[in-house]
Amino acid sequence: MSEERVVLCGANAYEQKYYFNEAFDKIPESIKDELHIICVLFTEEVGGVFTIVFEEDGSVSMETNADEDDIYYDEISSGLLISEIRRKRQELFEALQLYYRVFILKEDVSALLDELEES
């Protein structure tokens, strides 16, 4: 795993815990709440550990894994659920990516907006 990747949040079904990276405390509460719900519901449905990560380029990734001996973890369902979350929450992830690129990576806002208009 590259050192440039940064975990935004995650949930662990084994420990029944949720984690939010305090470095992103300035994200609005409504978005934090939505992320919390996404993570916890994912682990409730599929099990294992689920994390939302910022990649080096600012894009947002979702990852899941499970203990080797976890017979309840469903790898196929986890992949399908990640695809569904990405599709249904596309605007949320685009906004998070923009936030990260502007406030953390300190990229030029006008260049990013031009880039968004082109896509």
Domain boundaries, the chain: 6-118
With a pLDDT cut of 90, the percent of the chain lying above it is 78
The greatest distance separating any two alpha carbons of the chain, rounded to the nearest whole angstrom, comes to: 49
For residue 113, what pLDDT is reported? 75
> Is residue 59 within 8 Å of residue 97, measured between CB atoms?
yes
What does pTM read for this prediction?
0.90
Using CA atoms, how far residue 24 sits from 15, 78, 96, 100, in Å, is 23, 26, 10, 9
pLDDT of the residue at 2: 44
- Does residue 112 surpass a pLDDT of 50? yes
State the pLDDT at residue 91: 95
Q: Give the pLDDT score at 111.
A: 79
Rg (CA), the chain: 15
* CA geometry: angle 59, 61, 67, nearest 5 deg: 160
Contacts (Cβ under 8 Å, ≥6 apart) of 57: none
Decide which of 85 and 107 is more confident: 85
Distance, first Cα to last Cα, the chain: 29
